[in-house]
Amino acid sequence: MNDNIVEVKNINMNFYTKEGELEVLKDVNFNLKEGEILTLLGPSGSGKSTILNILTNLLKPTSGDIKITGNIGYMFQEDNLLEWRNIMDNITIGLEIQGKKDKKSLDRVESLLKTYGLWDFRSMYPKELSGGMRQRVALIRTLSVNPDILLLDEPFSGIDIFTREKFIESLIGYMDNNIGILLTTHELKEVEN
């Protein structure tokens, strides 16, 4: 039986810029199974976001094959919160788009907001929150649609150590749902956690 939920085979990615051809990914291969957390570690500019963008079809690789089994939740490197919507309305935007803003999903959002210490902030606006809080809002927005595969692009940048530990714990708790997590980082320290 093959239980890979993500398969990446021989991915190459070249960008064509004014300065010429930029070879960003060369023969990248990996698989992700249910219940696994996989970290893509590399310095800034090494192509981590590019890999996630390829997995979510935002970019087409120059060559290679990918296979995805399940729904993807993607947390971008930037939080991309909408400043004119309050925290609750930012979080439920994905549910709205998918027509899934029902009682069950809203209960799930409530429980996530409480887990991440943001329940009391639900009526506030993004500009009233710290960087770390905004990032947690972006995470809850991603989790609210119940993804099978979670892609997190540098989820720890801008989060203090204390929140980081809680964040990692909650992600590990979340693994009970048999999802797979692919995250990127440029700090070796985070991988050791």
Q: Tell me which residues touch ligand ADP (CB under 6 A).
A: 15, 17, 22, 24, 42, 44-50
CB of 113 to ligand ADP, least distance (A): 29
Q: Which is nearer to ligand ADP, 2 or 17 (CB)?
A: 17
Does 49 help bind Mg ion (rule: CB under 5 A)?
Answer: yes
Q: How far apart (Å, rounded) are the C-alpha atoms in residues 89 and 102?
A: 14
Q: How far apart (Å, rounded) are the C-alpha atoms in residues 56 and 8?
A: 12
Q: Which is nearer to ligand ADP, 149 or 153 (CB)?
A: 153
CB of 37 to ligand ADP, least distance (A): 18
CB of 151 to ligand ADP, least distance (A): 12
Q: What is the CA radius of gyration of the chain?
A: 17
Are 11 and 66 spatial neighbours (Cβ–Cβ below 8 Å)? Answer: yes
In the block, residue with structure tokens 């907001």: 113
Q: Which is nearer to ligand ADP, 15 or 125 (CB)?
A: 15
CB of 186 to Mg ion, least distance (A): 8
Q: Which is nearer to ligand ADP, 46 or 170 (CB)?
A: 46
Integer CA distances (angstroms), 53 to 74, 77, 148, 179, in order: 9, 11, 17, 19
Q: Which does 136 bind (CB under 5 to 8 A by kind): ligand ADP, Mg ion, none?
A: none
Cβ contacts of 106-112, under 8 Å, gap ≥ 24: 108/144, 108/146, 109/140, 109/144, 112/140, 112/143, 112/144
The binding site for Mg ion (CB under 5 A) comprises 48-49, 77
